[in-house]
């Protein structure tokens, strides 16, 4: 981390191999960003890690994890209208949470400037969908910069801050998973530290900042005028460029689809011209019209939805161009990442014979499926094992977003429906209505509870819905990299007020609240049974530290770790440890015996109580 800190704070120009997420942090520092906010979510967590590699007393960025994306956006907005350049970042579906605030930003005069970085996720590598957030940009009149590489991410962030400050408008830097995590040698500029400026520049005369009926239409007109002014900038921007191969065929592309296209073009005898768009909203109409008129056929190649395609076709119709415009031709063109093989397939379909599609020979080796696993010693596994024993087969279980989502998989099968973060109490409440036979149990993590779970809980208490909520408290935001939350007692800036979930639920009027460590499986089972028998909304807090985080911390402190367990001679091969508890440390040999993979076992011994014949024993 020391080398990362030095690279981010060096005042001289230079170059380093870095991922896109790190490159934008260097760009933040060079641009003079003062306030950065976020809620953790892939593919953007490394942005936070890079910021946090610099100690607070040397860090030019004031950074915080907010309780959710909406609040993070509001904090960054408040800083901007107070005169400070700000930035907010989160994952693709985080914009759904922030949208109520986000869609208002372009109506406001952001005197300090503000960049919204969105980690979109074609391929749904770490998200529940492939949401294309360019639609939000169109709806909210917000410009979009779309880099293809870490170097472009660095350069576009700096340009976005310059334009945002100049035009007092928000700008989206739309990253995708590959841009966030791609590695490249990035050339960066000089940086001169500025003295901390604590002066407040908020002034209502810069507004209006209250979009009531009498002024809201004027505010919208101003936003549209800014967007058209930005289009003038886009027309001549070097962020849009043409790769000229002197062909009568052309391709309009952007983002990582452009990089895959360039790989594909290397194999083509007749190479098409390419218009690479770095600014995808608003589109440079004059540049696109000129490109269309210079080519007989133009293919629009973009990941996910027809955002560019539809606008290009509309422009071509309005300007009466005769160019044949080819968009998405197959349902698969809307799905997944545009990696080189996929682009090669699309181009071969569009212009047969220009490039050969991939024909990979089928593998002769069958690779077994590897479902996602909870870590060895995970308290969630112990909780699911105990909770399942308290339920009937007809009972309904509702999942939520977090590590505990994995409870929906075999062998636990706890979590039959999932919408989004914090939905479980609301969805569970609806499932409990007109339902006298099937009990409803919902699962939520502590970070998710603070993020978006409270409204559903309040609603369940207020309307007295009969359901049970199990709060899986592990003291961190585990799934995205162990970030702090309001219940962890710390923040990125040091110790923080620790909000007790028990006291919070009690203050909300929850009448039935029980707490237990998840390793106490017998007690947890009994408490769940009691909760299910309660006539109303009941909560069981199933608590245990995230063991991956805990063991890493212990090793950093050079603590001696417990030795792995082993399977003794009592084993009668019922395979509860393998099939029902399902800790990955337990392996079944070809002869039917059970043994422990010692490289995985952390010696937590939560498994010992699950064996019906006490065959799991300590190594000592």
| DSSP structure string for 239-304 | TSEEE----SEEEEEEHHHHHHHHHHHTT-SSPPEEEEESEEES--HHHHHHHHHT-SEEEEE-SS
Q: Residue 460: count other Cβ atoms within 10 Å of its Cβ.
A: 25
Q: How many Å apart are CA 346 and CA 332, to the nearest integer?
A: 10
Please tell me the number of Cα atoms within 13 Å of 329 on its side-chain side.
13
CATH architecture of 2-236: 3-Layer(aba) Sandwich (3.40)
Please tell me the number of Cα atoms within 13 Å of 244 on its side-chain side.
4
User: Could you tell me which CATH class the domain 562-618 is placed in?
Assistant: alpha beta
What fold, for 379-554?
Rossmann fold (3.40.50)
What pLDDT does 359 receive?
Answer: 63
Domain(s) of CATH 3.40.50.970: residues in the chain? 2-236, 379-554
Q: Which residues of the chain have pLDDT under 50?
A: none
Q: Residue 127: count other Cβ atoms within 10 Å of its Cβ.
A: 21
Domain(s) of CATH 3.40.50.920: residues in the chain? 241-350
Backbone angles phi, psi at 37, to 5 degrees: -130, 160
Please state the pTM of the whole predicted model: 0.89
Distances (CA, A) of 322 to 273, 291, 313, 319, 572: 17, 12, 11, 9, 77
What fold, for 241-350?
Rossmann fold (3.40.50)
Structure token pair of residue 204: 């209502």
What pLDDT does 362 receive?
Answer: 60
DSSP 422: T
Domain(s) of CATH 3.30.70.20: residues in the chain? 562-618
CA-based nearest residue to 404, from 489, 455, 474, 454 = 474
What pLDDT does 163 receive?
Answer: 97
Biggest CA-to-CA distance, the chain: 83
CB contact at 8 A, 90 and 119 = yes
For residue 411, whether the previous peptide bond is cis, meaning omega lies within 30 degrees of 0, is: yes
């Amino acid at each position: 981390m020391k080398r990362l800190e030095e690279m981010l704070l060096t005042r001289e120009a230079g170059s380093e191999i870095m991922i896109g997420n790190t490159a934008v942090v260097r760009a933040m520092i060079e641009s003079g960003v003062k306030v950065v906010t976020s809620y953790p979510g892939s593919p953007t967590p490394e942005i936070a890690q890079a910021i946090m590699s610099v100690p607070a007393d040397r860090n030019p960025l004031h950074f915080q994890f907010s309780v959710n994306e909406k609040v993070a956006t509001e904090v960054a907005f408040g800083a901007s209208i107070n005169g400070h350049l700000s930035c907010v970042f989160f994952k693709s579906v985080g914009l759904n949470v922030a949208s109520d605030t986000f869609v208002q930003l372009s109506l406001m005069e952001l005197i300090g400037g503000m960049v919204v970085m969105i980690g979109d996720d074609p391929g749904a590598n770490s998200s529940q969908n492939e949401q294309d957030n360019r639609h939000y940009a169109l709806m909210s009149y917000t410009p979009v910069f779309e880099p293809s590489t870490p170097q472009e991410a660095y350069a576009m962030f700096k340009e976005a801050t310059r334009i945002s400050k100049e035009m007092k408008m928000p700008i989206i830097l739309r990253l995708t998973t590959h841009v966030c995590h791609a590695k490249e040698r990035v050339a960066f500029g000089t940086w001169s530290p500025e003295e901390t400026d604590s002066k407040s520049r908020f002034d209502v005369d810069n507004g209006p900042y209250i979009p009531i009926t009498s002024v809201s239409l004027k505010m919208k007109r101003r936003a549209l005028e800014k967007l058209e002014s930005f289009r003038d900038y886009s027309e001549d921007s070097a962020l849009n460029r043409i790769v000229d191969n002197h062909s009568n065929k052309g391709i309009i592309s952007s983002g990582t689809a452009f990089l895959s296209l360039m790989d594909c073009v290397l194999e083509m005898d007749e190479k098409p011209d390419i218009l690479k768009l770095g600014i995808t909203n608003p589109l440079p109409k004059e540049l696109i019209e000129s490109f269309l008129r210079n080519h007989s056929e133009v293919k629009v190649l973009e990941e996910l939805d027809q955002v560019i395609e539809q606008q290009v076709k509309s422009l071509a119709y309005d300007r009466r161009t005769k160019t044949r415009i080819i968009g998405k031709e197959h349902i698969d063109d809307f799905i997944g990442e545009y990696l080189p093989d996929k682009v090669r397939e699309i181009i071969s379909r569009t212009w047969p014979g220009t490039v050969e599609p991939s024909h990979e020979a089928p593998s002769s080796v069958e690779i077994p499926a590897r479902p996602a696993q909870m870590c060895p010693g995970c308290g969630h596994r112990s909780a699911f094992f105990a909770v399942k024993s308290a339920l009937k087969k007809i009972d309904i279980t509702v999942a939520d977003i977090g590590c505990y989502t994995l409870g929906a998989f075999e062998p636990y099968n706890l979590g039959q429906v999932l919408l989004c973060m914090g939905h479980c109490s609301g969805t569970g409440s609806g499932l409990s209505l007109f339902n006298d036979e099937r009990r409803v149990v919902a699962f939520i993590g502590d970070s998710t509870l603070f993020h978006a779970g409270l409204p559903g809980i309040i609603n369940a208490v207020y309307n007295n819905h009969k359901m049970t909520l199990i709060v899986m408290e592990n003291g961190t935001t585990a799934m995205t990299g162990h970030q702090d939350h309001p219940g962890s007692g710390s923040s990125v800036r040091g110790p923080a007020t620790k909000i007790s979930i028990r006291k919070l639920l009690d203050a909300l009027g929850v009448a039935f609240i029980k707490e237990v460590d998840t390793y106490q499986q017998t007690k947890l089972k009994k408490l769940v049974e009691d909760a299910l028998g309660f006539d109303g909304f009941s909560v069981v807090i199933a608590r245990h530290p995230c063991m991956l985080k805990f063991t890493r911390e212990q090793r950093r402190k050079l603590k001696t770790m417990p030795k792995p367990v082993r399977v003794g001679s009592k084993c009668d091969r019922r395979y509860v440890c393998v099939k029902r508890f399902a800790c990955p440390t337990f392996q079944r040999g070809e002869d039917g015996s059970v043994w422990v993979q010692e490289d995985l076992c952390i010696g937590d011994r939560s498994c010992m109580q699950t064996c019906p014949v006490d065959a799991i024993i300590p190594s000592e």
